[in-house]
Amino acid sequence: MSKQATRKQVIEINKQMEQVCKKTSDGYCEYVDGWNDQRVAAAVGCLANSVAAFRKEVVGKLRPAQSDHALRIEEQQKIIADQAKQLEVQNRLLSQHGAGIAALIENHNKLVIAVSIGRLGLDVRNLAVRGY
């Protein structure tokens, strides 16, 4: 293998890159799973430095790899956001149930008062009948 890619190899690098390396919305590029400069170089038969130089010039710089720790933090943030949404829904449901329970208690209290007033009226009538 020569140090610089031949024209034919550059054409092959370009074909490979169209299939396995995509630009991202943030101005970088990234390989599809399992691909990198070395694998493209092996497929074409040139040095990885030639592939890297082509990629940087034509496709863009590789997105900096996130550490496993950063990925785990990102995953946890998504889980927390999902749980917050679920709690919001549960809170709404509990508020609705609470309002229903409050209405039932209010109706119960009104009935108790009505029954108490009714009994008081009966007691007063009984007292009157007895001559008090």
* Pairwise CA distance, residues 124 & 118, whole Å: 10
- Buried b vs exposed e over 89-100: b needs ≥16 C-beta within 10 Å? eeeeeeeeeeee
The confidence score (pLDDT) of residue 130 equals: 67
pTM: 0.48
Quick check: 1 pLDDT over 70? Answer: no
Residue 54 has pLDDT above 90, yes or no: yes
Which of 2-11, 46-55, 69-78, 98-107 shows the lowest mean pLDDT across its residues? Answer: 69-78
**Residue 30 bridge partners (DSSP):** 22
CB-based contacts of 63, cutoff 8 Å, min separation 6: 24, 26, 28, 29, 30
Q: 53: closest CA among 88, 92, 96, 9? A: 9
